Amino acid sequence: QITLKESGPTLVKPTQTLTLTCTFSGFSFSTNEVGVGWIRQPPGKALEWLALIYWDDDKGYSPSLKYRLTITKDTSKNQVVLTMTNMDPVDTATYYCAHTPQHCSGGSCYYYFDSWGQGTLVTVSS
């Protein structure tokens, strides 16, 4: 059974750097070809993909946020860390981490998030 859980501050001030940790179980970067992504959702709004890291350290970032985001993994701790610099009130959102499998069959590869953390609400306010 795959589980993920986000942790980090619930309140940050404008201009500060946010650091969020995703701690997971049920899979490992060292034995599974998987990825972990971060997705956020402002209150009452839609989902927005932020970043992704794969078992082989391949990374991807949202083009609109790539200069503010860094994603890393600690394979020994089963953790993925997302940092976002220069936080602003518009960054107030629930931040989710999610598992994406390496799923290829019949000549096609499939891309989706099949397990999600419960999310953590981050408020940006002075």
Q: Where does this chain bind another protein (CB under 8 A)?
A: 37, 39, 46-49, 52, 60-63, 96, 98, 103, 108-114, 116-119
C-beta of 13: minimal distance to another protein in Å? 26
Spatial contact of 82 and 19, defined as CB atoms under 8 Å apart: yes
Cβ atoms within 10 A of the Cβ of 13, count?
10
Nearer to another protein, 13 or 103 (CB): 103
C-beta of 80: minimal distance to another protein in Å? 15
Which of 73, 26, 24 lies closest to 51, judged by CA?
73
C-beta of 47: minimal distance to another protein in Å? 4
Which token pair is 19? 């650091």
**β-bridge mates for residue 73, sequence order:** 80
Amino acid at 14: P
Any idea how long the chain is? 126
Nearer to another protein, 44 or 76 (CB): 44
Nearer to another protein, 16 or 23 (CB): 23
Nearer to another protein, 19 or 48 (CB): 48
Which token pair is 48? 């927005």
C-beta of 98: minimal distance to another protein in Å? 8
